Amino acid sequence: MRKLNSVLIKTGGEVYREIVTVAVHSLISSCMLIPLLVLAPLPAALALIPLLYMPLVYGVYYAYYRKRESGKSRIKDIFVGAAKGFVPAAVFGLFCSLLILILWSTWWYYGGRAGMLPLAIAVFQTYFVLMAFVSQFYTLQLVLQEGMGIFRAMAESVKLFFRHPSYTLGASIQAALLSAVLMITVVGYAALFTGTMAVYQYEVTRNVLGKDEAAQDESALPRLREEGTA
């Protein structure tokens, strides 16, 4: 399994080469996200984002997956993927909204209370929510790359997290830092975030599943045979 730094470098090179595609895909998904964040109150946004925005995110992931697997890249693949993956994307989005709601309600209830015990409970709940987010880092990619159902993919993502905790935590931190950098400007986030995450999560998941190593081994076989024949 390759190190995360090499995965990040490969992601950066891919985003640079496909910057137009990444930007177009990101803008298509952001056209749904930005109005929801600006116009909808928080409770409505938490309910609508999983149903309206997350299928488009899955569609962007699907379009990039098709490009990598078949070499084809079409804008309509985003909408095809959004339709095909509506259920897994919505379920995953609702799960994320639930975690955000737990985090918000925890600090709303315990944050204003005096004493160390409420603070300790709030910190523990925050840690629990963050680890739950990290444990689901591979979910959508497992649905795509392995053809799993959403609940099986969520369970398998947890297993991969426990199997490779430092790798998964490092990948999540890198993704969070990248998101923070893009959030500095709304335009940068809207134009690059979803497309960049599609590339990064594809590479990270492919790496943790050992597919890159398998591909390298297969490409090395003809060369080894030639050397053996010589």
Question: Could you read off the pLDDT of 18-65 as tens digits, one per residue?
Answer: 889 899 999 998 888 878 877 878 778 888 889 999 999 999 999 999
- Whole-number percent of the chain with pLDDT over 90: 51
For 63, the token pair is 């379009």
Q: Indicate if the pLDDT at residue 223 is higher than 50.
A: no
Asked whether residue 10 is assigned to any structural domain, the reply reads: yes
Q: Is residue 19 part of a domain?
A: yes
- Given pLDDT bands bounded at 50, 70 and 90, which one contains residue 227? very low
Looking at the domain assignment, is residue 228 inside a domain? no
Is 226 part of a structural domain of the chain?
Answer: no
pLDDT for 213 equals: 57
Burial profile 152-185: b = 16 or more Cβ within 10 angstroms, e = fewer: ebbebbbebbeebeebbbbbbebbeebeeebeee
The DSSP secondary structure of 205-221, one letter per residue, reads HHHHTTHHHHHHHHHHH
Tell me the average pLDDT across 119-141.
92
pTM: 0.86
Q: What is the mean pLDDT of residues 177-183?
A: 87
Is 32 among the domain residues?
yes
**What is the tally of structural domains in the chain?**
1
Whether 218 shows a pLDDT value over 80: the answer reads no
Q: Is residue 98 part of a domain?
A: yes
Structural domain of residue 12, as residue ranges?
4-221
Q: Which helix (H) or strand (E) holds 91?
A: helix 86-110
Answer yes or no: is 230 within a domain: no
